[in-house]
């Protein structure tokens, strides 16, 4: 049935329609979100539209874009008054077929962002069983055929707030982070999302910020907004001497200190102990990750054996080297 409809539409004559008659609302078939019209407008300005949009006409005469929403938008932005397109009667185009037409038409020319994938999966789920979506459409969207992934992307479409969707579509918010935020209430996730966006955090930093914030709020029995609204965080954000990446790291460090008070205290104590050794800049002593294995690491950078020998001799003369040990032992 779908192939017949596509063929029929392809056989339809191209007609000229006034742009003002085409609804500016996305409608049920559009799968575009958070896009940048500029490159497309530039293309259309130079070579026009090669692949014409398809619009559907309702019984009341309203025109909705079936496929080509961004092309129509680009024409509008260029100040054009007319779009050349194919027109199908709404009654002749069942919703699922319209959706698939739009999907395959877009798929041929571009990649979808995570919000658009969510829009597609969310709409398909109105018409198709989950099993079909998992086996036939997740792969098309470069997604694994996992139920959890399907649920998460559908939730992006249905539950994420507009600013978060925009950040997700633009890549400012990672898919992993967005999935973590889904588990929070809307107010809380917007607060965290705004901070992620403001600090331009990378994928790992986003995850850390969400984890720390969630857990500190839970431990303290406080609201997420209160955790992030803390004076110490506010002070870092307002600190004009820090650039954006420095602010991001400083905020995460502050959050880590709050989440892991004992661990970070020991890390500081260890650094202090090592700094008292006044080691050469080319010598470094590192604790094991989280002090778990008990094996400390000494690193010496050198260019020649002679330099290495000199460094080792200098080290051997530092009596306080013997004090390097687990920092909590000093506290006993």
Binding site for another protein (CB under 8 A): 183, 215, 218-219, 259-263, 266, 289-294, 326, 328
Determine phi and psi for 262, rounding to 5 degrees: -70, -50
Is 60 or 292 the residue whose CB approaches another protein more closely?
292
CB of 211 vs another protein, minimal distance in Å: 10
Task: Pick the closest to residue 24 from 65, 68, 55, 56 (CA basis).
Answer: 65
Q: Look at the alpha carbons of 70, 177, 141, 160 in this order and tell me if their dihedral is positive or negative.
A: negative
* Least distance to another protein, CB of residue 306, Å: 37
Q: Would you tell me how many other CB atoms lie within 10 Å of the CB of residue 45? A: 13
User: 201 or 266, CB closer to another protein?
Assistant: 266
What CA–CA distance (Å, rounded) separates 58 from 270?
A: 72
84: left (phi over 0), alpha (psi -120 to 50) or beta: beta
Least distance CB 41 / another protein (angstroms): 44
- What single DSSP character describes residue 22? B
The torsion angles phi and psi of 189, rounded to 5 degrees, stand at -70, -30
Minimum Å gap between C-beta 291 and another protein is: 6
Measured from the CB atom, the residue of 263 and 312 that comes closer to another protein is 263
Distances (CA, A) of 112 to 26, 119, 158, 293: 16, 10, 17, 45
Q: Which is nearer to another protein, 262 or 275 (CB)?
A: 262
Burial of 43: CB neighbours in 10 Å, binned 0-12, 13-18, 19+: middle
Residues pairing with 86 in the sheet: 54
Minimum separation from the CB atom of position 143 to another protein (A): 20
In the block, tokens 């705004």 appear at 194
Taking the least distance from each CB to another protein, the nearer of 176 and 197 is 176
**By C-beta, is 198 or 267 nearer to another protein?**
267
Least distance CB 97 / another protein (angstroms) = 30
Of the two residues 129 and 261, which places its CB atom closer to another protein in the complex?
261
Could you tell me which residues come within 8 angstroms of residue 174 by beta carbon, excluding any fewer than 6 positions away? 203, 206, 207
Q: Which residues neighbour 309 within 8 Å (Cβ) at sequence distance 6 or greater?
A: none
Give the separation between CA 261 and CA 177, rounded to whole angstroms. 24
| Least distance in angstroms from the C-beta of 332 to another protein | 10
Output the smallest distance, CB 261 to another protein, in A.
7
Cβ proximity to another protein, 262 vs 304, nearer residue: 262
Q: Dig out the tokens for 18 from the structure.
A: 């006034």
Smaller CB separation from another protein, 291 or 302: 291
Smallest gap from Cβ 273 to another protein, in A, equals 15
Beta strands in the chain (DSSP E): 15-18, 54-57, 63-67, 82-89, 283-286, 297-300
- Using the structure block, give the residue that is written with the tokens 């929403």: 69
């Amino acid at each position: 049935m779908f192939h017949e409809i596509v063929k029929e539409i392809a056989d339809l004559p191209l007609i000229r329609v006034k742009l003002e008659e085409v609804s500016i609302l996305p409608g049920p078939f559009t799968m575009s979100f958070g896009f940048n019209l500029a490159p497309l407008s530039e293309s259309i300005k130079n070579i026009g539209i090669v692949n014409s949009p398809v619009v559907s006409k309702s019984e009341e005469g309203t025109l909705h874009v079936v496929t080509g929403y961004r092309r129509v938008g680009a024409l509008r932005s260029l100040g054009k008054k007319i779009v050349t397109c194919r027109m199908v009667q709404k009654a002749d185009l069942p919703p699922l077929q319209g959706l698939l037409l739009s999907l395959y038409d877009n798929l041929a020319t571009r990649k979808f962002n995570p919000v658009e994938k969510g829009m597609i999966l969310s709409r398909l789920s109105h018409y198709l069983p989950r099993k079909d979506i998992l086996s036939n459409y997740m792969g098309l969207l470069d997604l694994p055929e996992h139920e959890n992934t399907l649920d998460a992307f559908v939730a992006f479409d249905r539950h994420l707030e507009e600013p978060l969707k925009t950040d997700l579509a633009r890549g400012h918010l990672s898919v992993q982070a967005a999935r973590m935020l889904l588990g929070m209430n809307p107010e809380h996730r917007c607060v965290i999302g705004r901070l992620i966006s403001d600090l331009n955090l990378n994928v790992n930093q986003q995850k850390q910020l969400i984890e720390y914030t969630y857990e500190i709020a839970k431990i303290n029995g406080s609201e997420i907004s209160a955790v992030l609204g803390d004076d110490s965080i506010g002070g870092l954000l307002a600190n004009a001497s820090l650039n954006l990446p420095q602010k991001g790291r400083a905020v995460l460090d502050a959050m880590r200190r709050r989440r892991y008070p004992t661990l970070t205290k020991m890390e500081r104590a260890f650094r202090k102990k090592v700094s008292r050794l006044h080691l050469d800049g080319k010598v470094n002593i590192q604790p094991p990750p989280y002090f778990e294995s008990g094996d400390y690491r000494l690193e010496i950078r050198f260019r020649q054996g002679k330099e290495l020998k000199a460094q080792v001799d200098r080290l051997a003369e530092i009596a306080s080297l013997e004090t390097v040990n687990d920092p909590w032992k000093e506290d006993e």
